[in-house]
Chain A
Amino acid sequence: DQQVKQNSPSLSVQEGRISILNCDYTNSMFDYFLWYKKYPAEGPTFLISISSIKDKNEDGRFTVFLNKSAKHLSLHIVPSQPGDSAVYFCAASEGNNDMRFGAGTRLTVKP
């Protein structure tokens, strides 16, 4: 049973435009959410996170939005750059329990 779902396996965006990556979850007890970025032949690296007490967290070009009622979060990248091309994983955890990851979305930013 996948508790964290990323329904779009891929996304293609033009350089300079906004990239929006979506993530849905089923466990209402999740209280911390993270996004990881993965380049080919490398392990995932932490990108940005948000606690369930917030609905938005911003870090430079990256903003994560959380809609608890809809059990939905999204990652916005503005403006998108070719170097952002990677696989993005959404992850969620409940308290100090281990994280659950989504299947990932492959973002391609075209020059």
Chain B
Amino acid sequence: DAGVIQSPRHEVTEMGQEVTLRCKPISGHDYLFWYRQTMMRGLELLIYFNNNVPIDDSGMPEDRFSAKMPNASFSTLKIQPSEPRDSAVYFCASSLAPGINYGYTFGSGTRLTVV
């Protein structure tokens, strides 16, 4: 397995534009997580899915953020409209289970810059 695959690796967009980040989890992993890394708060959980169903989206900062998982092998995180303060590295991770005894496997991240 190639691991968790995220695309694009880098995204530069203008304020107000729509941005879509993509993630392919490891096959067989039932849980998928979207994190945002910032200097001040480290890795913040935005949302996670279990078997393609959103379980906890309390970390999604605003209505401008939305995430979908149409099938077990694909998820998207969309920001519309994007703002400069959304600039960060966004990580997707997948796991067999959300907590104990199971480490998460992270993708390489998408560095988003909103100008």
Question: Is residue A94 within 8 Å, beta carbon to beta carbon, of the partner chain?
Answer: yes
Cβ contacts A87-111/B at 8 Å (1 or 0 each): 0010101111111111110000000
Q: Which of B40, B97, B107 contacts A43 (CB 8 A)?
A: B107
Chain B residue with the shortest CB-CB distance to A98: B98
Task: Give A77 to B91 CA distance when docked, in angstroms.
Answer: 26
Write the nearest CB–CB distance from B93 to chain A, whole angstroms.
7
B residues 80-115 touching A (CB-CB < 8 Å): 91, 93, 97-101, 103-109
B-side contacts of A43, CB under 8 Å:
4, 91, 93, 105-109
Write the nearest CB–CB distance from A80 to chain B, whole angstroms.
22
Chain A residue with the shortest CB-CB distance to B100: A32
Do B41 and A103 have beta carbons less than 8 Å apart?
yes
Task: Give A31 to B93 CA distance when docked, in angstroms.
Answer: 21
Question: Is residue B15 within 8 Å, beta carbon to beta carbon, of the partner chain?
Answer: no
Chain B residue with the shortest CB-CB distance to A48: B103
Do B91 and A44 have beta carbons less than 8 Å apart?
yes
Chain B interface (Cβ < 8 Å from any Cβ of A) = 4, 33, 35, 39-45, 48, 56, 91, 93, 97-101, 103-109
* A-B contacts besides A36-B106, A51-B100, A103-B40, 13 pairs, CB < 8 Å: A32-B100, A42-B109, A43-B91, A43-B108, A44-B106, A46-B105, A93-B98, A95-B99, A97-B98, A98-B48, A99-B98, A101-B44, A103-B41
Chain A interface (Cβ < 8 Å from any Cβ of B) = 2, 6, 31-32, 34, 36, 41-46, 49, 51, 89, 91, 93-104
